[in-house]
A and B are shown apart, each in its own frame.
Chain A
Amino acid sequence: MGGYRHPVTHPTRIKPAPSTILAIVLGVGVPAAFVGIFFAWPVAAMVGRGLFVDGALDLSGFGDVLARPRTLRLIGRTIGQAALASVVCVVLGLPIAHVLYRLTFRGQRMLRALVVLPFVLPTVVVGVAFRTLLREGGLLGDLHLDGTFTAIVLALVFFNVAVVVRTVGTTWEGLDRRQEEAARVLGAGPVRVWLTVTLPRLAPAITAAASIVFLFCSTAFGVVLVLGGTKFGTIETEIYLLTTQFLDLRGASVLSVTQLLVVVLVLLVAARARGRRTAQRRVSSLQSRRAPRLGDVPTIVVTLLVAAFLALPIAALVLRSLQTADGWGLGNYVALGTTGSRNALVVPVWVALGNSLVIAVQATVIALVIGLAASLVISRRPRSVGLRRSLAGFDAVLMLPLGVSAVTVGFGFLITLNTPPFDLRSSPVLVPIAQALVALPLVVRTILPVLTGIDDRMRESASVLGSPPWRVLRDVDLAIVGRPVLAASGFAFAVALGEFGATSFLSRPDRPTLPVVIFRLIGLPGGDNFGMALAASVVLAAVTVAVIALVERLRVGTMGAF
Chain B
Amino acid sequence: MTALSVDGVTVSFDGAPAVDDVTLSLEPGEVLGILGPSGSGKSTLLRSIAGLERLDAGSVSWHGEDITAVPVHKRGFALMFQDGQLFPHRTVAQNIAYPLRIAGTPSQARVTELLALVGLAGFGDRRVTDLSGGEQQRVALARSLAAEPRLLLLDEPLSSLDRELRERLAGDLRRILDETATTAIFVTHDQDEAFAVSDRVAVMVDGKLRQTGTPAEVWRRPASAEIARFLGYTTVLDGDAALVVRPRGGGPIALRPAAVVVTHDGPVAATVVRSTPAVDGWRVRLVVPGIGEVDGIASGQHPVTAGEYVTVRFDDDAIADLP
Contacts and interface: CB of A to CB of B under 8 A. Distances in A.
A472 B98 CA distance: 11
Contacts of A455: 85
Nearest to A466: B102
A485 to B, nearest CB: 13
Contacts of A386: none
A265 to B, nearest CB: 33
Contacts of B50: 460, 464
B89 A464 contact: no
A482 B90 CA distance: 13
A433 to B, nearest CB: 33
Given A464-B50, A471-B102, A475-B98, A8 B89 contact: no
B275 interface: no
Contacts of A287: none
B199 interface: no
A462 B55 contact: no
Contacts of B209: 1
Given A462-B98, A475-B98, A8 B87 contact: no
Contact of A457 (B21, B54, B85, B89): B85
Given A2-B23, A480-B88, A480-B89, A465 B99 contact: yes
Interface stretch (B66-74, B168-176, B181-189, B243-251): B66-74
Interface in B31-73: 47, 50-52, 54-59, 68-73
A6 B52 CA distance: 20
Contacts of B78: 464-465
A469 B51 CA distance: 13
A461 B52 contact: no
Contacts of A7: 57
Interface in A463-494: 463-469, 471-472, 475-476, 479-480, 482
B50 to A, nearest CB: 5
B57 A458 contact: no
Given A1-B209, A4-B8, A6-B59, A15 B69 contact: yes
Contact of B73 (A6, A11, A463, A476): A463
A1 B55 CA distance: 18
B73 A467 contact: yes
Contacts of A460: 47, 50, 52, 72, 79, 81, 85
Interface string A3-30: 1111110011111010000000000000
Nearest to A16: B71
Interface in B1-44: 7-8, 10, 13, 21, 23-24
B52 A464 contact: yes
B56 A466 contact: no
Interface residues of B, number: 46
B73 A468 contact: yes
Interface residues of A, number: 35
Nearest to A471: B102
A134 B12 CA distance: 68
Given A5-B21, A457-B81, A465 B54 contact: no
B143 A6 contact: no
Interface string B205-217: 0001100100000
Report which residue of B24, B57, B72 has the largest number of chain A beta carbons within 10 angstroms of its beta carbon: B72
Contacts of A479: 87, 89-90
Contact of B87 (A4, A17, A469, A475): A475
B103 interface: yes
Contacts of A475: 87, 98
Contacts of B74: 466
A447 to B, nearest CB: 15
Contact of B77 (A2, A464, A467): A464
A6 B89 CA distance: 43
Contacts of A469: 73
Given A463-B52, A465-B102, A468-B73, A6 B8 contact: yes
A6 B58 contact: yes
B92 interface: no
Nearest to B55: A12
B87 A465 contact: no
A538 B270 CA distance: 92
23 contacts: A1-B24, A2-B8, A2-B208, A3-B23, A5-B57, A6-B7, A8-B10, A11-B54, A12-B69, A13-B55, A15-B69, A457-B81, A457-B85, A460-B52, A460-B81, A462-B98, A466-B76, A466-B99, A467-B102, A471-B73, A475-B87, A479-B87, A482-B89
Interface of A: 1-8, 11-15, 17, 383, 455, 457-458, 460-469, 471-472, 475-476, 479-480, 482
Interface of B: 7-8, 10, 13, 21, 23-24, 47, 50-52, 54-59, 68-79, 81, 85, 87-90, 98-99, 102-103, 143-144, 147, 153, 208-209, 212
Given A2-B21, A6-B59, A464-B78, 9 more contacts: A8-B57, A11-B57, A13-B69, A14-B69, A460-B81, A464-B73, A465-B147, A466-B147, A471-B102
